[in-house]
Amino acid sequence: MQTATNEIAPACFEIERAELDKALADWRVLAAGARLRWLEGGQIPGLAKGKAWPGIAVSHVRPASLWELIGLRDGDVVYAFNGYSLTGFDLFVSVLSDPDLTRELQSSDSPRKALDSLFGTSVTDVLVLSVVRGGKELVLHQVLEGTALTECYEVPRLNERDAEERTWTEADWQADAKRAEQRQAVFDAAAAEREAVANAITPTSATSFEISSAISSARLRAALAGDHVRSVTAIVDGNAVGMRIYAVRPQGVYAALGFENGDTIVSVAGVQITSTDALVEQLGKLPEHANATVGLTRRGASVTLTYVVK
């Protein structure tokens, strides 16, 4: 083989295992290969009517990068991996888009580990990416070297919803659109509530915040749970020392509370934090304290955030 990859059949690319292993072992290599931008559901132009799936917009694809080797081009939007929605991959994109996070994670978790453990997705010999390119849907197949060519089009079965859509009538599409509108109304109301909660938290200094007494524990807890921040257990010398958070949205509730991407939250109001449930539960209880502190580690330094309810 003269190059690291060959298009051995239409939209089917053979990849050397060494190239794939190299990219999935190093966040910096993966991040340098292209720029990625997360798109929420309903933001992908050209996707079939009725599919309000999220996606990843790809640009600035570098020659010989893994992104080019698997067949991606500038302007592509990936919306499915092995036939399944990319819901949850916003964390992956946020890490690759943040140089500080890629440097921090380089010493602990590899991209392959992130795919396997965070998303429950394993890298197999046959990969399938569903892409929108130039306003049209396209399926790209990737096979590792040595895989039989006949397997190139053994696409993992799309979920039952996709198979069902192929037989839908116009009435079916209209009914689905109505259900989508109803779901969107619920999402919009939840988003408005999260915004109201975030706006009720006021910074008084870089590490001090006032929480309005109008915000109950139940409201704050629900807003935190819906803020879609990702968290993983931080391990030091084999021991859980806190929860490291990612995908902190600039206008979200976690950001309003003073948290940043990559923070490891160690304690909330004196309670040690070692799980996502404990994190949301204890942060949600902040309105129950007249004064409370959160201990965390940020870029290797210890930081204390202080909260006052007024």
Distance CA 119, CA 281 (A): 23
pLDDT higher than 80, residue 260: yes
Distance CA 3, CA 97 (A): 28
pLDDT given at position 196: 95
Could you tell me the pLDDT band of residue 219, with boundaries at 50, 70 and 90?
very high
pLDDT higher than 50, residue 216: yes
pLDDT given at position 108: 58
State in Å, rounded, how far the first CA of the chain is from the last one. 68
289 burial (CB, 10 Å; 0-12 / 13-18 / 19+) is middle
Strand 126-133 and strand 84-85: the pairing is: unpaired
Q: Which residues contact 292 (CB under 8 A, 6 or more apart)?
A: 268, 269, 286, 306, 307
pLDDT given at position 121: 47
pLDDT given at position 117: 55
pLDDT higher than 50, residue 5: no
pLDDT given at position 291: 94
pLDDT given at position 258: 97
Distance CA 71, CA 142 (A): 8
The pLDDT mean for the chain works out to: 80
Segment 269-295, tens digit of pLDDT:
999 998 988 999 999 999 999 999 999
Segment 31-63, tens digit of pLDDT:
889 999 988 877 888 787 667 788 999 999 998
pLDDT given at position 2: 37
Top-confidence residue, 100 or 257: 257
Q: Which of 154, 141, 156 minimizes the C-alpha distance to 5?
A: 141
Could you tell me the pLDDT band of residue 3, with boundaries at 50, 70 and 90?
very low
- Quick one: CA torsion of 211, 213, 215, 217, rounded to 10 degrees? 90
Domains recognised in the chain with CATH numbers: 5-167 (2.30.42.10), 189-309 (2.30.42.10)
Cα 104–chain centre separation:
17
Segment 77-100, tens digit of pLDDT:
998 877 777 776 777 787 777 776
pLDDT given at position 35: 92
Beta bridge partners of 265: 243, 296
Q: Which of 3-17, 68-82, 134-148, 163-177 has the largest mean confidence?
A: 68-82
Distance CA 44, CA 79 (A): 8
Longest dimension (CA), the chain: 68
